[in-house]
Structure formats: structure tokens, C-alpha cells
Structure 1
Amino acid sequence: MAKYRLLYEHLSRIGIATRYNTYISSPSPREWLQLAHEPAYIDRFVQGLMGAREQKHLGLIWSEQLVARTLTAVGGSVQTCRLALRFGLACHLAGGTHHAFSDHGNGFCVFNDMAVAARTLLEKDGLKRILILDCDVHQGDGTAHILADDPRVFTCSIHGKTNYPFEKQRSDLDVALVSGTDDTTYMAALNQTLEQLDQLGNFDLLIYDAGSDVHQDDRLGQMQLTDQGVKDRDIRVLDWAAKKSLPTACMIGGGYDHNHQRLAERHGLLFETADQFYRRQFCLDS
């Protein structure tokens, strides 16, 4: 949990997070959660009724603070999508909890914020079609499962073939990469994927999971992307979306390191790239 605070402090220190561009989110209401999750599961979590086995499967110990943090993070994902529709690009300092299924949590993910956000924007904001591009090193299995029968959302996951989760779900488009994939190989796969997505027509919104766990120093990633490789990935996605006039909401996704400061700085690469891209797009430095 420390990485979230450290990420904000890092972005504030380098001048990216300021009072002029930072928004505070509110907790997600139950109405939004129920668009992607079973009411019984929501109750078990919010009311602290999860058993030891379920908590172990989730990987988190229940507390009132965890409930508050989780609901606020999901609310932040919805807000980030709405800010993206308003400004063209927005980034969430959390989000990407793609292992949560409709009736249970998984892999440190309580609720699936991207599925909740997509369904909320479709049901409440009048959007017709949303693309979820998940570039976290771990497959977005919960997202794929929740949205499998929803033609309004196209799910695409670029992930490690042999990495967690070991039982994969079927996204609308899955791109499985071998362990040890480097910058060049990753970018080739990304470019090919974006070419395939080009054939799908128009979307109203892109939800982008920019997991930093593809980095070569991530302790669970098994990939070999450098700092520049991660930046190149993000700029390629943002440029692709901008050329299609596609509003983009970015989530930080996964990242793992015993050194939390170093991890926060790796997550910060997304915000540095997005900040530079946004300034170029709107000539804010001129």
C-alpha cells in the first residue's frame, strides 16, 4: 500500500501533480459496484464477513481502512474516465485491479475497477463502446470473465504467457508473450496488436492498464523492458489513441518491488510520459 502515497509524493516533488491538475475521488456507490459484481460478494466485503479462506485467496486482510481505500480507488477509476472524456487524457494514481471476478476477489484485487468503470460509463454517461487495453504483465482474467458477454466492451490483454494467473480466461484479444521479452520484441507485439485494434472501428473511450510490472527490475514480472521501453510502450498507446481522437483513461496496474520508493518511481514513468505527451498535444509549453 505504501507505493500509492509514495507515487503521489514523487509526482508532487517533480512537479507533475499540482493543485491545478489533481482531483480527489469519492467512494464508489453500491449502484456502480453492482454493475460488475454480485450483491452477496459486495456485502461480504463491505460488512467484513469474508472468511479466512476467502481473504487468503484475495491476499489482503480485511479492515475498515481497506474498505474505504478500495471504494475510493474504484470511484477514482470512474472519475478518471470522466476526466478523460472532458480533457482527452487522464491518469489515476491507482486502479487496474483486473483479477477481481464478479463474485470473489483475487490477486490483491477486491473489485474490478475497470469493469465497474466501463459499465458505469455505458449505463450512466451514454457511451456506446469502450476499449480496455490491458498491458499489465499479468492477464486481466477477471476483466475478461466479467465482460465476456458484453459486446459494448472489447477487452485486449498483452501479458506474460506463463505468468500469473496460471489459469487464463479468454479476452476478446489475448497476446501472450514469453518470459524475457525485451523492448524491441514487446514493441513489435504492441504495434501488431494496435493494427488489429484498428480494424474494429470506433470506440468512445480507451481504458488503459499501464502496469509497470513489465519492467526488468520488477520482482514478479519476468520481462526485460527498460525504463525507455516502458516509456515507449506508453507513448505508443497514447499516440495511437490521440490519432483516433480517443479519450484515454490510464490506470497504474501492477508493480512489485521490496523497495517501495523505487517502485513508485517506476509507476511514475506513466505520468511523466502522459504529462509530456499532453503538453505536446496542446502546446502547453509554448
Structure 2
Amino acid sequence: MINPQWLHTFAVLVEKGNFTRTAEAIGITQAAVSQHISRLEDRYGTLFLRRTRQLEITPVGENLLTYVKEVECAQKRLQQKLIHDDTDTGDISLITPGSIGLTLYPLLLELQEAFPRLNVRHRFAPDNEIVASILANEHELGMVTLKPTDPRITSTYFTEEPLELVVPASQKNTEWPDLQKLGFISHPDGEAMATRLLSRKCPDSPSIQEIPYHGFTNQISLILEPVAKGLGFTVIPQYARKAFERQEDIYVVECGSQVVDTIWLIHRAEWPLSLRAQKAIEFLKGKI
């Protein structure tokens, strides 16, 4: 590693153009200035051509000066990140399940519109990937439906999300035989969600495997498209249903007591949240 004092002396000498003025500016002796430059030249080669009353920087010196400026810029950026934590500037990085994410992402864009120096970075992922991303410091904030037990993660209650049985708007009869005739539109969590909810609505009926499958998609924003076209029913989280544009084409079936998932907000426990992340959390809580 290059001695930072030598580099500072070199940069001041470039600016002052004179060993005496450099020594005065730094507060060291002229001999010390000469020693610092000699140490650098021993390592990198000639930095200056010494002419009467004038120093001329060499190409090697120019390259070293570029390096010094890059280091100074890096130090300033680090200082800004470590000390000047701004509520209105920088990344807001969030990773969530698809359903809640469909609601939160537009809200975050609304926040970014109000504060254009914010940079919203959002990703959809399942719970296990969300936890891994938080632990790897890839995202500052995450949301999961299963509260992590890892001591490196802080978990706080954010909201609740009921599961909903959604059928085509034209389908008002929703007993078990009606669902069997209609068919199931599945998704990656479809069977598990349908089993949980339908066991409440139809406790004496067979499992979801007894209902014919009429479609599958892993894109949460598209799950309700075949339902809206009358091709089947599905079970999805409420926020995913609310994000669907054509509400008039679907119908939410009343299933008695709700099946509810808790949404947990998570982040690394070892260090505090940035001010902009705290701002985003309060903004989202006020909107949900």
C-alpha cells in the first residue's frame, strides 16, 4: 500500500510547483518533502523533471496524479455514504413475495416521483431467496410470510394478507361440485393456498387434487387472466387480487373465517437502517 502522506506531499507539490512552498503548506521540512518524493520515485520512476525554478511533471507523474484524484473521490463518496445519510437520496432496495410486491412497487414509484434523487430497486422472490438476499446484503429491506429465526435478521410485523377464492364474475354458484366443474387455475403456491382455504369453506370435501386443472402460470400478475375469461377459479393472496385491473370480471367468494398470512418486514440486525429506508417504510405503512 502506498503511504498516504507521500501521496499527499506529491499532490501538493504538483499544485505548488516548488519544494519550499510545499513544505510550508504541509508544515514539514523541505528535506521531508524531498524524501517523500524520492520514496515514490524509487517505486514508480521519475515523477518530475527538475529545471531551474520549475518542475515539469512526467507521464509517470501524471498517472500517479490521476490515481491520487481517484482515491480522493472514492474517499469523498465513502464519507457521504457513512456520514451523510440522506432521507431523499440513494437506493431503496426491497425484495418481496409477488403478491405484496404488486401493491408496494407502484407506491415506491410514487415516493420516487416525489423525491427524484431516490432510486427504487425492487425484486420479486420466494421467502427463502428473500432471506438469503438480506443476509448477502443484496437488498436492505425484505418482506416474508414466514418469520425468520436467524439471529442476524430483525423481523417486525408489517401487515396481514388474507387468501381469497376468486372465480369468474359470471360464476355465483361456488359449492364443491361447482368448483370441480369450473376447474382450477394453479400457480407455484396454488395447491398449498387452495388446500388451506378450501378446507375452511368445504371441510367435508376431497383435496384440491380432485379438481381438474385448467391452467398454470408462475407470473402472479397473470394468474387472474384465465379466471376473468371464465376458464377456471384460483386461490391467491388479497394484494394480488387487488392489483388486477379488471375487477368487474372476477368475483371474490365469501369463505367464512379468513385464512391470513402475516407479512414480516426484515433487515439485517447488525446495523441500523438507512434514513431513506426508514422513510420508505413509514410511507408504505401509511398507504397499506
TM-score interval for Structure 1 and Structure 2 normalised by the shorter chain: under 0.3
The TM-score with structure 2 as length reference comes to: 0.23
The TM-score with structure 1 as length reference comes to: 0.23
Highest CA radius of gyration, 1 or 2? 2
